[in-house]
Amino acid sequence: MSSLTITIIQPNLVWEDKKANLDMLAKKIDSIQEKTEVVILPEMFSTGFSMQANLLAETMQGETIEWMKKIAFSKKIILTGSVIIEEEGRFYNRLIWMLPNGEYGVYNKRHLFAYANEHNHYSGGNKRLIASVKGWKINLQVCYDLRFPIWSRQQSAGEYDVLIYVANWPEKRSSAWKTLLQARAIENQCYVVGVNRVGEDGNQVYHSGDSMIVDPGGEILYHRANEEDIFTYTLQKEKLNGIRERFPFWRDADTFNLPG
């Protein structure tokens, strides 16, 4: 049975300072001692959760994408997280799945956080990204998407094996974050990885982190709050398949079609 080793980075981001964040994250990635295959950064990892898209956005040929290519190549890892991207006159909160060879997949955050006026500054996506690595299928989503279970729901048995959420999720709603990460794991019988930031942003919003890894039965395998952390863990396909075979709840699921 195959395994997949992932590394979570839970940083305190510097508000709207790309250079400071990229330098800081490069050092954190360079400090990883264990052999790892996928390194996961938070939402808007180069800027923090900013609505200054017109000032901070880059193209897909910009500095941050080139930085991701360089890091992924030099470390021989897959690197993922979301950044502010401008494309054809629109701004996107875009998750990048960067491979070591410079090829990449993208997912534009579908559910825009109207409570913070994200919908007034960014355009939403309408296509899911399910990446493949070493026989693992990984569904990639961003922050507020977590509140909308239909968007992440398995449409067929084994459609994906891991569900990743990159986030800037405030401490005030950390109870919802932790509860929903476990719920997504239980209802989809998959591993769930939630990667958040810590610290106060430029809007005086505090983030407690609470990054988590949850197994397909809902058990919390890792959780860290209120401090920066780098954590590496190996997911086991044997455990995933064992839970799905022992408890084949997918057979009783409702059929549906996703929007978009």
CATH number of the structural domain spanning residue 217: 3.60.110.10
Residue written as token pair 């997918």: 250
Q: Say whether pLDDT at 133 is over 80.
A: yes
- Residues forming beta bridges with residue 4, ordered by sequence position: 235
Question: Is 259 among the domain residues?
Answer: no
For residue 167 the two structure tokens come to 């986030």
- Name the residue among 253, 251, 241 with its Cα closest to residue 216: 241
- Name the residue among 215, 212, 218 with its Cα closest to residue 186: 218
Residue 251: predicted pLDDT: 87
Across 232-248, average pLDDT:
96
Q: Say whether pLDDT at 255 is over 90.
A: no
Across 219-227, average pLDDT:
98
- Residues forming beta bridges with residue 9, ordered by sequence position: 230
For 13, 58, 61, 233, the CA distances from 100, given in Å and listed in that order, are 24, 21, 16, 20
Top-confidence residue, 158 or 67: 67
Question: Is 260 among the domain residues?
Answer: no
Active-site residues, by number, are 43, 109, 143
Residue 89: predicted pLDDT: 96
Question: Is 182 among the domain residues?
Answer: yes
Separation of alpha carbons 41 and 29, rounded Å: 10
End-to-end CA distance of the chain: 35
69-111 pLDDT per residue, tens: 999 999 999 999 999 999 999 999 999 999 999 999 999 999 9
Cβ distance 85 to 92 under 8 Å? Answer: yes
Residues of the chain with pLDDT > 90: what percent? 94
Separation of alpha carbons 49 and 115, rounded Å: 13
Separation of alpha carbons 58 and 199, rounded Å: 25
Residue 260: predicted pLDDT: 63
> Domain tally for the chain?
1
For residue 151 the two structure tokens come to 């968007």
Mean per-residue pLDDT over the chain, rounded: 97
**Rg (alpha carbons) of the chain, rounded to whole number:** 17
Q: Does the model's pTM come out above 0.95?
A: yes
Question: Is 107 among the domain residues?
Answer: yes
Cβ distance 253 to 235 under 8 Å? Answer: no
Q: Say whether pLDDT at 1 is over 70.
A: no
Question: Is 146 among the domain residues?
Answer: yes
Q: Say whether pLDDT at 259 is over 80.
A: no
- Give the range of the structural domain holding residue 10, as residue numbers without chain letter: 3-252
For 150, 151, 156, 180, 205, the CA distances from 257, given in Å and listed in that order, are 9, 10, 11, 22, 36
Query: How do beta strands 198-200 and 136-142 pair?
Result: unpaired
Across 233-260, average pLDDT:
90
Question: Is 258 among the domain residues?
Answer: no
Question: Is 241 among the domain residues?
Answer: yes
146-187 pLDDT per residue, tens: 999 999 999 888 999 999 999 999 999 999 999 999 999 999
Cβ distance 133 to 164 under 8 Å? Answer: no
Question: Is 104 among the domain residues?
Answer: yes
Q: Say whether pLDDT at 57 is over 70.
A: yes
